[in-house]
Structure 1
Amino acid sequence: MRHTFAAFRDAWSLSRPFWSGEHRWAARGLLTVVVVLNLALVAMNVLLTYWQRGFYNALETKDWNSFISLLVLGGPTEDFGFIPGFCLVAAIYILVAVYALYLKQALQIRWRRALTESFTRRWLDHRAYYRLAVQDRATDNPDQRIADDARLFVDSTLTLGLGLMRAVVTLLSFIFVLWSLSGEMTLFGVSIPGYLVWVALAYSALGTWLTHLIGRKLITLNFVQERVEADFRYALVRVRDNVEGIALHRGEAEEKDALEGRFGAVIGNWWGIMRATKQLTFFTAGFSQVATIFPFLVVAPNYFAGRIPLGGLIQTSSAFGSVQEAMSWLVNNYEQVAAWRATVQRLTGFDAAVAAAEAHAADGPAVQVEPREDLAASGLTVTLPDARPLLEDVSLSVAPGEAVLVTGASGSGKSTLFRALAGIWPFGRGRIAVPAGRRVLFLPQRPYLPLGSLRRSLCYPSSEAAFDDGVVRAALADVGLGHLAPRLDQVESWDRVLSGGEQQRLAFARALLQRPDLLFLDEATASLDPVAEETLYRLLRERLPGSAIISIAHRPAVAAFHDRILRLQERQLVPA
């Protein structure tokens, strides 16, 4: 019971922003209409039990006129007064059912949009995505949680919620019908009024308890299945995105073994789900089959004793079945509930991880924007996520137009220093003062090329419309990529189309367009030959004379394009 309450609490914490947010009235109004339509379906089901009673009584008495009127427009009956005809009820039922589904789907897409946008915004804000990637290894596959789990949560919550509501309303509605039809039964000298109600409740309660006892392991198994499926899909994407590296290393066999291992986890857990589902299905299928005939077995003695006509038998068994089915809602939906709980757990875990990242957004070296000319760092200490120090009490100042080269052994912390100066490294302390109103651009060793056209990759992070076509083409020509100008608006996976050297040239063209005041280059020419490297550095110094440039590089020739050289050694930054 404690876990059930926790699941509902977590589900409400995920749902509350949508139902109390900016678009709450539209959402609540749409939900109200959907609820009313579903209640109308329940009401028509109650009405149909009385129709069945009149219809089967007409069959039993061979009353042709009542038979025809009850099929078409309806007519009076001995037990209920006027009953609408089946054709009329069916037409209204179909109309209500169609719009109940249509409007539920409209509510689903609104809710999914709000939930997805909220998760995406929070994941990207304050660079929570970055902190999760470098520190929180437990929050696996955020892409799947945003794309798939959010969709499943919305769909399952609405479907199960409306289904549970209909079951409760059906139960309350048909209990009164069944009570009025039951009469009394004497058992061991005790008169039991409405005995059919108590039999239905007892039967359903026993089935619900046994279903939970048998199927509860499915909750954990479904949670694990979501994770291993996502891990396998991510591994496939990694292979797709690194085809050249795998081919060059002849790594097909190792990749095949790794993929088979991840898929083996999928299969292994799926077998667990199959075994648990088999055990549950043995019970639920048997329960459902018995439920088909059980109402007739309970009501048959009154029918054969002549106390009720055929229509009464049909109505009573129908009402009994409706009460039993409503009470057995969990029995019939246990697998869906188990999957829903697993989805809630994954989304709640992701939500908690993002919230923790938001709470620690101010951790790490403090970046302050000040009215000054130079970039300055003081008392800068940078650590790894496990608190091991890479740099201790480092000070640095770079003036406008100055070029500084940072060198040091591999693994000494040069790239992490850049991340700290960029304000994205959350581990450490100290103070970094950035000139106000200055544009900053980082060119890593492997440039980021977003999805879309070549023009978008070139103009990133600005929009494609930020630069004139002639300026864009000139920047491509300046870095030696003029032959790509005719393909500027062609949409490709450019990170796979372009070689490593071409991608780095593209990044330099991006710098020429953006004209940053502070430009950081982290091995930004590592894939280029020395001649191309010198050409691009000379181009930067000529075209961006007022930009402060801070570089990480190992080739000695690069030093000629810098005013100072600093070496990172023994956790300190010293002149070389």
Structure 2
Amino acid sequence: MAWRLAIASTALSIATTLLLLKLSYTQSNLSSNLSEKSESGFYSAVWEFVGVAAVATPLFALSEWVDGLLVIHWRRWLTGHMLDAYYADRAYYRIMLCSLQGLDNPDQVQAKEGGGVVGGLMLRMCEDARSFASSSVALMVGLSRKLFYLAAFSGLLFSIAPRMMWFLLAYAAAGTAVTAAVFGRGLMRRTYEVLRREADLRFQLVRVREAAESVAFYSGEAREAGVSHARLAAAVHAALRRVAWEAGLALWVNAYSNTTLLVPSLLMAPAYFAGQVRFGDITQVSFTFQRIESALSFVVDNLAALSGLAAQTERLDELLRALVPRGDPGASVARGAARAGAVLELEGLSLWTPGGAQHLADGLDLSLGAGQSLLVMGPSGCGKSSLLRCIAGLWDEGSGTVRTLPRDSLFFLPQKPFMCLGSLRDQVTFPHVHTRGSATDLAALLAAAQLPDLLERSGGWKAEADWAQTLSIGEQQRVAFARLLYHRPGLAFLDEATSGLDAATEDAIYTALAATGASFVSVGHRPQLVQWHTHVLEAQGRGRWELRDAEEYLASRGRAASPQASGGGSMTLRRHTVSARLAT
């Protein structure tokens, strides 16, 4: 479709150029007959002018419409291409994980403390792509029309006034060179700086909106207002610098254009006074001169737009390069299918954080059989969640092998569940698009997740809301658990997935999970969690881990680690065989 629109735009540009060429002859006849007081010739030229205008008017309007459609289709393709790259190979997660050295922070690429987490990139994909599509189409269509003007009118001008044609070529070349040398790079840098500063301001305001409750609890509005005003001042300062450059460019462009206003009349006057040309020829030459001058002065007249397009192109190019998967020259974790009787196998797993800053595991070997469960424990920052990221394929920096069930038999519950845009039904079935099971079946899942009243309270399965804001973190975790029950995985991973629940609700959740017969791996701190697992993997520091039977683990901790001491009831441990060979 876009190519057809481009061809149509080109054809319309040619047609309108030919109409303008015809109009130059019509104006010449009109002026000559008027100066010669030829009444019949004058009215004949008037009717000719009306006919040309009647054809040209709808064609020019049609040309604008086609150009608008071309912008829309070009933007749709460009944004779609970036969205495909954003979701391919989990680029969205890779960008979030890495600080993207060299990629500036237009709103969406802002490294948080530690450089490990990066905000979204959606503004570049949406707003920058829209601006780029509009600017690029406008400039390309404008350039093509100027070239058609040059091709159509240069022969006419050269046949009437060859000296004028040579003057125009030299004048335009000199003007373009001066404009590019004096204003080109400087204006582009100022435009890029404005885009960056405005994006910084937007990003800070979005952060305040997303953390509004936390800011309010801290009474941090004064501090955040100060940051906003500081970023606003920086954006205004950058805009003032760009305006100063644009004013200088406008002064130069006006001087450049006004200098040539009298050139056609001055060069044609001697021939007219000598009776060698008609008065209409002067009108035609002036019209032709203006069209050729506008074609040859394209860079001079559009430098501001070209500078803006260059800045937009640089930003989008940075984003597209960031989205392309980068080959890792270093070692990476190998992956494969778990062997018969096993659901998870780690063989010689050594794991580092992205960039190699922290060693998380050193030669870990582990085999988890069907129906078994494992609790991963240790102090904050020791790498518990990182093990799950490695198993999920999100982190690969390290060595060794991870063998699991097929991806569609795995399910991960993070501590902060993702609440998608959509209905309550969508929250339970995510990421499935088409629902499996009846409404009664789904309601039973909510009941098992200790949310029996959520359906009625929310207004039914089709009710839509900002679920991340409407539901508490505990309710979100229970919805995520209903999601797990819906998908019925062979192996589930729970990364502190019950941290927002009270002990009784947590017990009910794990009771329902154990009843499914699925194997599961949990990450958590609470000793109460041990009773729901057959084995415990505990971090020992420096990348070392110790694996023990759950009963043995509790015995080593004494009564203080028992459910009774932590407020729970009696526990029943199920014995399974798990082999582990840890590096010495």
Q: Please, what TM-score do these two structures have when normalized by structure 1?
A: 0.87
Which residue identity is paired with 1:381? S
Partner in structure 1 of residue 497 of structure 2: 524
Q: In structure 2, give the amino acid aligned to 1:573.
A: W
Which residue of 1 is the match for residue 473 of structure 2?
500
Residue type of the alignment partner of 1:277 = E
SS at match of 1:465: coil
Looking at structure 1, the residues matched to 427 and 259 of structure 2 have their Cα atoms a distance apart, in angstroms, of 64
* One-letter amino acid matched to 1:93: A
Equivalence for 2:66 = 103
Confirm or deny that 1:390 pairs with 2:353. no
How far apart, CA to CA, are the structure 2 residues paired with 1:59 and 1:409? 96
Task: Tell me which residue corresponds to 1:221.
Answer: 190
Query: Shift in Å at residue 438 of structure 1?
Result: 5.0
Give the match's secondary structure for 1:551.
strand
Instruction: Indicate how the Cα distance of structure 1 residues 327 and 276 shifts in structure 2: closer, same or farther if over 3 A, else same.
Output: same
Q: Deviations over 1:240-297 (max 9, x none)?
A: 2221122222221222222223333322221221111111111112323334444334
Aligned mate of 1:47, from 22, 27, 34: 22
Kindly indicate whether residue 305 of structure 2 is the aligned counterpart of residue 342 of structure 1.
Answer: no
Distance 1:371 1:112, change over 3 A: farther
Paired amino acid for 2:54: A
1:378–1:496 Cα change, 3 Å: same
TM-score by length of 2: 0.85
Report matched runs for 1:340-379 at 5 Å: 340-355=309-324, 357-360=325-328, 364-370=332-338, 372=340, 373-379=342-348
Residue equivalent to 1:18: none
Match for residue 57 of structure 1?
32
Question: What residue number does 2:558 align with?
Answer: none
Question: What amino acid is aligned across from residue 328 of structure 1 in structure 2?
Answer: S
User: Which residue does 2:170 correspond to in 1?
Assistant: 202
Amino acid across the alignment from 2:545: L
- Determine helix, strand or coil for the equivalent of 1:69: helix
**Structure 1 residues 535-546: aligned runs within 5 Å:** 535-542=508-515, 544-545=516-517
Residue 120 of structure 2 corresponds to residue 145 of structure 1: no
Pick closer, same or farther for the CA change 1:491–1:426 going to 2, 3 Å. same
CA distance in 2, matches of 1:398, 1:157: 57
Contact 1:382–1:428 under 8 Å retained in 2: yes
Q: Deviations over 1:469-492 (max 9, x none)?
A: 112222222223232213232221
Structure 2 distance, partners of 1:290, 1:454, is: 69
The alpha-carbon deviation at position 361 of structure 1 amounts to 11
- Any idea what the Cα deviations from partners look like across 1:460-511, whole Å, max 9, x if unmatched? 1112523421122222222232322132322211101111111111111111
Distance 2:198 2:399 in 1: 39
Cα shift readout 1:351-392 (whole Å, capped 9, x = no counterpart): 22222x254499732222355332111121221223122222
Q: 1:276 to 1:69 in 2, by over 3 A?
A: same
* 2: CA distance, partners of 1:350 / 1:476: 41
Greater Cα offset, 501-510 or 218-227: 218-227
In 2, distance between residues paired with 1:466 and 1:69?
Answer: 77
SS in 1 for 2:498: coil
User: What is the RMSD of the two structures over their aligned residues, measured on CA atoms?
Assistant: 2.1
Q: State the AA in 2 paired with 1:490.
A: A
Instruction: State the shift of 1:170 in Å.
Output: 1.0
Task: Find the counterpart in structure 1 of residue 443 from structure 2.
Answer: 473
CA distance in 2 between counterparts of 1:412 and 1:232 reads 35
- C-alpha spacing 1:415/1:264, structure 2 compared with 1 (3 Å): farther
Q: Quote the offset at 1:454 in angstroms.
A: 2.2
> How much has 1:117 moved relative to structure 2?
1.8
Distance 1:221 1:501, change over 3 A: same
For residues 116-135 of structure 1, give each alpha carbon's deviation from its aligned partner in whole angstroms, at most 9, with x where no partner exists: 22211122111122112212
| Matched pairs, number | 525
**Where do 1:86-485 residues align within 5 Å?**
86-137=49-100, 138-139=102-103, 140=105, 141=108, 142-182=121-161, 194-216=162-184, 217-355=186-324, 357-360=325-328, 364-370=332-338, 372=340, 373-388=342-357, 389-436=359-406, 439-463=409-433, 465-485=435-455
* Greater shift in the superposed pair: 312-321 or 214-223: 214-223
Distance 1:228 1:385, change over 3 A: farther
Secondary structure class of the residue paired with 1:491: coil
- Report if aligned partners of 2:410, 2:491 keep a CA contact under 8 Å in 1: yes
Cα distance in structure 2, aligned partners of 1:339 and 1:530: 58
CA change 1:428–1:254 in 2 (3 A) is farther
More off after superposition, 525-534 vs 463-472: 463-472
Change in CA separation of 1:400 and 1:230 when aligned onto 2, cut-off 3 Å: farther
SS in 1 for 2:432: coil
Opposite residue 346 of structure 1, the aligned amino acid is R
1:60-103 Cα shifts (integer Å, max 9, x gaps):
1122222222222xxxxxxxxxxxx1222112112222222222
Q: Distance in 2 between matches of 1:223 and 1:466?
A: 50
Unaligned runs of 5+ in 2: 109-120, 548-552, 554-584
The 8 Å contact of residues 119 and 146 in structure 1, kept in 2 or not, is answered as yes
Q: Please name the residue that 1:553 is paired with.
A: 524
One-letter amino acid of the counterpart of residue 33, structure 1: A
Which residue of 2 is the match for residue 511 of structure 1?
A: 484
Secondary structure at 1:482's aligned position in 2? coil
- Cα distance in structure 1, aligned partners of 2:218 and 2:533: 36
Unaligned runs of 5+ in 1: 1-25, 73-84, 183-193
**What secondary structure does 2:58 align onto?**
helix
1:305 CA drift (Å): 4.5
Does structure 2 retain, via aligned residues, the 8 Å contact 1:203–1:324? no
Q: Who is 1:4 aligned against?
A: none
